[in-house]
């Protein structure tokens, strides 16, 4: 009787496609329980025979392989120096789509166009900047937001031309925009009181001519972190008076006094991104951010310090229309914004908004020309352009130096204290 029960148990284990242990140890078989095995050769042979006759369990087919084949490959993110000539944009777009999925439910997936390829960041300057940042516990939006231009901005042999966008107040934001890969939390870590000094020390050590400061949103702080931001600018100007400083700020929950505080801290360029057209703002940005609030921020910065260059950026490829873009540009010019940039929205993870379309380089060039015709001082426009893209900074740097030559007391020459800035 005991032998018959043992045989039935062996057959049950075999039909569950469990492997028989040669050591007689206890092992788990699915979610039903545990069984012991008899290590004798005869027992092993019986189990093997039962397994051979057991009916195979049907497995549900997946489309994972199809998705891998149709999705971005490693070469879609990296380009070397020996690539073939780029395809025509329309041809590249057509070749990089494929239908994937089970029969009856296939959908089209679009791979990255060739014009969005960037080189792997690997240079002495890149490694040096990264080492200094880690040593001083500093963060950059270049890394946190996975910027595709990091090799270009960090990797130049000429360190005076290198640009790193330092992200102040930690790496965790209190807002959750649907396009951004920066970490979010209602209760991020407290501010590092040494960060303004560490940032100024690192930047002065690098010998850069132009630096961009940005920050996460800190709605948990009464001033949104504006005083911390302003203090950092002041310390940088104390250590490197000739350095040009651009600040890419949040909206400080609409507190225009905090906007004025930062604008008067000695910076040279005040940037605040509207991100997208007004109609899409509720679907793209955190609910606490509005297009009109961003317009008021840019207006307040210019009024607080008229000599400042004001700057903003929009992502394309989110489903915006031409008329919506025209309207956004008209509103920006109405508050005397000087510089605008256009770049391609690129989905950082599957948790974020999908790309509506990949805008071609020709379309980006068209919008650059339109912006200049509307009176913007400068417009950087292209698939890989981001709000702190160094090509734009080179132009802005020249403009600022010319202004300084004509007016020694111009932007950024005489930073005031945080207390003075609030008067």
Mean pLDDT of 175-182: 85
* Residue 87 falls inside a structural domain: no
* Greater pLDDT, 359 or 96: 359
* Residue 305 falls inside a structural domain: yes
Q: pLDDT tens digits for 283-319? A: 999 999 999 999 999 999 999 999 999 999 999 999 9
Report whether 13 belongs to an annotated binding site.
no
| pLDDT bucket at 129, cuts 50 / 70 / 90 | low
Choose from 180-189, 313-322, 406-415 the range with maximum mean pLDDT.
313-322
Beta strands in 105-221 (DSSP E): 107-110, 139-140, 165-168, 172-173, 183-184, 210-215
Handedness of CA 409, 411, 417, 419 (dihedral sign): positive
CATH of residue 285: 3.20.20.70
pLDDT of residue 399: 86
pLDDT for 169 beyond 80: yes
| pLDDT above 90 as % of the chain | 41
Mean pLDDT of all residues in the chain?
A: 74
Q: Interior CA angle at 240 toward 239 and 242, to 5°?
A: 155
Please give the Cα distance from 226 to 355 (Å, whole number).
Answer: 33
Among residues 197, 114, 121, the alpha carbon closest in space to that of 155 is found at 121
200 contacts 235 by C-beta, under 8 angstroms: yes
Handedness of CA 199, 202, 205, 207 (dihedral sign): negative
Report whether 247 belongs to an annotated binding site.
no
Report whether 379 belongs to an annotated binding site.
no
* Greater pLDDT, 240 or 71: 240
Report the 10 Å Cβ neighbour count for 284.
Answer: 21
Buried/exposed 185-222: b ≥16 CB within 10 Å, e otherwise: eeebeebbeebbbbbbbbbbebebbbbbbbbbbbbebe
310 contacts 336 by C-beta, under 8 angstroms: yes
* Residue 419 falls inside a structural domain: no
* Tally of domains within the chain: 1
Report the 10 Å Cβ neighbour count for 363.
Answer: 18
The pair phi, psi for residue 87, each rounded to 5°, is -75, 160
97 contacts 125 by C-beta, under 8 angstroms: no
Handedness of CA 21, 27, 31, 33 (dihedral sign): positive
- Domain of 292? 124-406
Worst-scoring range by mean pLDDT, 138-142, 231-235, 241-245, 326-330?
138-142
Residues paired with residue 34 on neighbouring β-strands, in sequence order: 28
188 contacts 220 by C-beta, under 8 angstroms: yes
Q: Which helix (H) or strand (E) holds 323?
A: helix 322-334
Both structure tokens of 291: 């297009």
| pLDDT bucket at 15, cuts 50 / 70 / 90 | very low
Beta strands in 63-186 (DSSP E): 97-100, 107-110, 139-140, 165-168, 172-173, 183-184
Mean pLDDT of 81-104: 48
Assign 422 to helix, strand or coil: coil
* Residue 97 falls inside a structural domain: no
pLDDT of residue 72: 47
* Greater pLDDT, 286 or 57: 286
Q: Where would I find the H helices in 335-374?
A: 361-373
Worst-scoring range by mean pLDDT, 119-133, 218-232, 251-265, 308-322?
119-133
* Greater pLDDT, 168 or 15: 168
Mean pLDDT of 396-414: 66
Among residues 269, 161, 155, the alpha carbon closest in space to that of 214 is found at 269
Report the 10 Å Cβ neighbour count for 390.
Answer: 21
pLDDT of residue 32: 37
pLDDT of residue 395: 79
Please give the Cα distance from 382 to 365 (Å, whole number).
Answer: 7
Assign 76 to helix, strand or coil: helix
pLDDT of residue 166: 83
pLDDT for 383 beyond 70: yes
234 contacts 417 by C-beta, under 8 angstroms: yes
Worst-scoring range by mean pLDDT, 46-60, 176-190, 396-410?
46-60
Assign 78 to helix, strand or coil: strand
pLDDT for 392 beyond 50: yes
Please give the Cα distance from 252 to 206 (Å, whole number).
Answer: 30
Q: Interior CA angle at 355 toward 106 and 173, to 5°?
A: 130
Both structure tokens of 134: 């880690």
């Amino acid at each position: 009787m005991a032998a018959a029960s043992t045989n039935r148990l062996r057959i049950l284990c075999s039909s569950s496609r469990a492997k028989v242990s040669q050591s007689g140890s206890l092992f788990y078989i699915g979610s039903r329980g545990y069984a012991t095995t008899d290590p004798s050769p005869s027992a092993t042979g019986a189990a093997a025979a039962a397994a051979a006759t057991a009916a195979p369990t049907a497995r549900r087919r997946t489309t994972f392989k199809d998705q891998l084949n149709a999705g971005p490959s490693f070469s879609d993110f990296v380009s070397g120096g020996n690539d073939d000539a780029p395809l025509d944009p329309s041809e590249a777009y057509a070749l990089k789509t494929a239908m994937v999925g089970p029969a009856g439910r296939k959908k089209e997936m679009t791979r990255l166009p060739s014009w969005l390829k960037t080189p792997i960041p690997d240079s002495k300057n890149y490694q040096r900047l990264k080492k200094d940042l880690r040593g001083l516990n500093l963060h950059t939006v270049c890394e946190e937001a996975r910027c595709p231009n990091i090799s270009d901005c960090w990797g130049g042999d000429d360190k005076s031309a290198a640009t790193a966008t330092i992200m102040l107040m930690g790496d965790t934001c209190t807002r959750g925009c649907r396009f951004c890969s920066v970490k979010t939390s209602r209760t991020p870590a407290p501010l590092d009181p040494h960060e303004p000094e560490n940032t100024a020390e690192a930047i002065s050590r690098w010998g850069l001519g132009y630096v961009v400061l940005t920050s996460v949103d800190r709605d948990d702080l009464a001033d949104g972190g504006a005083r911390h931001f302003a203090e950092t600018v002041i310390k940088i100007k104390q250590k490197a008076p000739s350095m040009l400083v651009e600040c890419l700020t949040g909206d400080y929950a609409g507190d225009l006094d905090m906007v004025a505080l930062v604008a008067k801290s000695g910076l040279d360029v005040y940037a605040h991104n509207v991100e997208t057209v007004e109609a899409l703002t509720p679907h793209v940005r955190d609910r606490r951010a509005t297009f009109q609030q961003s317009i008021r921020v840019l207006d307040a910065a210019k009024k607080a310090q008229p000599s400042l260059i004001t700057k903003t950026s929009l992502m394309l490829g989110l489903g915006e229309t031409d008329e919506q873009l025209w309207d956004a540009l008209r509103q920006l010019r109405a508050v005397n914004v000087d510089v605008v940039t256009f770049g391609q929205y690129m989905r950082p993870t599957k948790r974020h908004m999908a790309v509506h379309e990949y805008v071609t380089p020709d379309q980006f060039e068209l919008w650059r020309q339109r912006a200049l015709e509307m009176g913007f001082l400068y417009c950087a426009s292209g698939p890989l352009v981001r709000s702190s893209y160094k090509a734009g900074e080179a132009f802005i740097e020249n403009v600022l130096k010319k202004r300084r030559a004509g007016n020694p007391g111009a932007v950024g020459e005489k930073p005031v204290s945080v207390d003075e800035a609030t008067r």
